[in-house]
């Protein structure tokens, strides 16, 4: 259940960003629209890194739910922003929200990396050195 839930969460988030890319990457797009496709790609990368850093930290035994832009915040900000503002004011509000998510997701990913680094000092962080994990290549 938990595996499928987190997997489907990531798939739905990727689908949302692909939808935004489709919106900004329409035929005959102006330069600002092309620029936004790069911003959306950065937001997607940041979102996936936020999820990945938390999942990897949890796999290593840490509860790493720090940061400004967790999944719920991203979905509410972009989903509600899309529903309420849509392309009003030539999409300026939606563009600002996507830019904010692009910046804040990457900051959140860095916050999580730093958090694990600080809390993992003196703790073996690779699977091979954990006593509760079987060594690779051994029976």
Q: Encode pLDDT of 125-139 as tens digits.
A: 555 544 455 444 444
* Domain contains 102: yes
Residue 86 lies in a domain: yes
Residue 137 domain-assigned (yes or no) = no
Average pLDDT rounded to a whole number, residues 51-80: 88
Residue labelled with tokens 């959140």: 108
Per-residue model confidence (pLDDT) at position 127 = 52
Instruction: Say which residues have a Cβ less than 8 Å from residue 125's Cβ, sequence separation at least 6.
Output: 60, 116
User: 124 in a domain, yes or no?
Assistant: no
Q: What is the DSSP string of 34-62?
A: HHHHHHHHHHHHHHHHHHHHHHHHHHTT-
Q: Do the domain assignments include residue 10?
A: yes
Structure-model confidence comparison of residues 130 and 112, the more confident one = 112
List the domain range (segments joined by +) for residue 74. 2-118
Cite the active site residues. Answer: 9
Percent of the chain with pLDDT over 70: 81
Q: Is residue 125 included in any domain, yes or no? A: no
Q: pLDDT tens across 39-55, in order?
A: 999 999 999 999 899 98
Q: What is the mean pLDDT of residues 99-128?
A: 83
Contact of 59 with 6, CB cutoff 8 Å = no
Evaluate whether residue 138 is within a structural domain.
no
Instruction: Tell me how far CA of residue 131 lies from CA of 114, 124, 126, in angstroms.
Output: 24, 9, 11
Q: Which of 12-26, 66-80, 117-131 is the least confident region?
A: 117-131
Tell me which residue has tokens 């804040």. Answer: 104
Give the chain's domain count: 1
In this structure, what CATH number is given to the domain that contains residue 54?
A: 1.20.120.1760
123 in any annotated domain: no
DSSP state of 139: -
Residues 24-38: tens digit of each pLDDT: 877 556 656 788 889
């Amino acid at each position: 259940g938990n595996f499928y839930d987190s997997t489907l969460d990531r798939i739905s988030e990727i689908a949302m960003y692909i939808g935004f890319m489709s919106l900004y990457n329409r035929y005959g797009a102006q330069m600002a629209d092309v620029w936004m496709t790069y911003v959306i790609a950065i937001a997607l990368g940041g979102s996936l890194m936020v999820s990945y850093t938390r999942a990897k930290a949890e796999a290593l035994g840490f509860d790493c739910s720090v940061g400004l832009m967790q999944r719920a915040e991203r979905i509410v900000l972009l989903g509600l922003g899309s529903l309420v503002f849509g392309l009003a004011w030539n999409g300026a509000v939606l563009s600002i929200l996507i830019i904010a998510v692009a910046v804040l997701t990457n900051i959140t990913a860095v916050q999580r990396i730093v958090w694990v680094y600080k809390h993992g000092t003196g703790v073996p962080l690779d699977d091979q050195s954990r006593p509760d994990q079987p060594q690779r290549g051994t029976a």
